[in-house]
């Protein structure tokens, strides 16, 4: 249309008499409808935005865990190279405020007892430095044969512990294996436990251990816990 010869081109109308300049006719009748395109693109953007907002509102609580579960499976699949081998026997989910009990009681009674000797994954010792915390948690849970949750008042008040519990229960529901063990370090009132729905459901459906206050019962406790964890290692 920008060639000089196009300016002289004439068009015949339907009656075959009137002649119209082609360039003027094209500009008048074949112009680009920018207003319509803006309307269409804006409408499409608004529809996509509404769908995203509604999806997040009704399914947002599942999107994050699903992403972490999928990424955990993917990383472990790459690492396994066709044969699944766990780096740890047990991922220990616990509050940092209970770390003294973990280091003084749990670690020596599980890692130094054997054979078979158990390899624990402790966040203060085994998490990768510089890596995102959520990725560390996900990677460690799926790199471990099973998860041991040490429940206390401190545990219930920790958001990180809540995430670890959530990821562990999702894995439990998907894999349908006995991979989640609960240990209560202290008595938790029912009214406090009821506000943590996921943990309350586990308590009603799974057998758990209580840390005994009587010193003479400690050896029995460690025997039961070690036998449970080591038996899963043998499977």
User: 35-71: per-residue pLDDT in tens?
Assistant: 778 888 899 999 999 988 887 777 665 666 666 667 6
Per-residue confidence (pLDDT) for residue 28, from 0 to 100: 65
Rounded (10°) angle between helices 34-80 and 159-175: 80
94 neighbors 126 (Cβ within 8 angstroms): no
Residues 80-112: pLDDT tens digits? Answer: 554 567 889 999 999 999 999 999 999 999 998
Measured between alpha carbons, how far apart are the two ends of the chain, in Å?
78
For residues 228 and 78, give the distance between their C-alpha atoms in angstroms, rounded to a whole number. 29
Burial class of 9 by CB neighbour count within 10 A (0 to 12, 13 to 18, 19+): middle
Tracing tokens 């935005």 back to the chain, one arrives at: 49
pTM greater than 0.75: no
The tokens for 62 are 């599942």
Residues 198-226: pLDDT tens digits? Answer: 788 888 888 899 999 899 999 999 999 99
For residues 164 and 93, give the distance between their C-alpha atoms in angstroms, rounded to a whole number. 7
Per-residue confidence (pLDDT) for residue 84, from 0 to 100: 62
Rounded (10°) angle between helices 159-175 and 197-205: 50
For residues 137 and 160, give the distance between their C-alpha atoms in angstroms, rounded to a whole number. 9
55 neighbors 114 (Cβ within 8 angstroms): no
122 neighbors 108 (Cβ within 8 angstroms): no
For residues 200 and 205, give the distance between their C-alpha atoms in angstroms, rounded to a whole number. 9
């Amino acid at each position: 249309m920008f060639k000089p010869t196009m300016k002289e081109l004439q068009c015949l109308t339907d009656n075959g008499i009137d002649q119209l300049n082609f360039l003027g006719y094209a500009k008048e009748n074949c112009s680009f409808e920018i207003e319509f395109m803006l309307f269409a693109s804006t409408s499409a953007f608004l529809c996509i935005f509404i769908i995203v907002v509604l999806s997040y509102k009704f399914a947002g609580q599942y999107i994050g865990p699903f992403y972490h579960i999928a990424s955990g499976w993917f990383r472990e699949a790459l690492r396994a190279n066709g044969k699944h081998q766990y780096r740890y026997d047990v991922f220990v989910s616990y509050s940092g405020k209970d770390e003294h009990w973990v280091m003084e009681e749990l670690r020596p009674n599980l890692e130094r007892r054997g054979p078979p000797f158990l390899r624990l994954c402790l966040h203060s010792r085994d998490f990768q430095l510089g890596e995102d915390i959520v990725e560390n948690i996900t990677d460690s849970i799926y790199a471990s044969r099973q998860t041991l949750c040490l429940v206390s008042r401190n545990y219930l008040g920790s958001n990180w512990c809540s995430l670890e519990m959530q990821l562990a229960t999702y894995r439990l529901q998907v894999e349908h294996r006995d991979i989640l063990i609960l240990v209560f370090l202290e008595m938790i009132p029912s009214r406090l436990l009821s506000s943590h729905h996921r943990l309350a459901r586990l308590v009603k459906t799974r057998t758990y251990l209580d840390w005994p206050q009587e010193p003479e019962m400690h050896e029995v406790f460690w025997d039961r816990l070690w036998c449970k964890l080591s038996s899963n290692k043998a499977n």
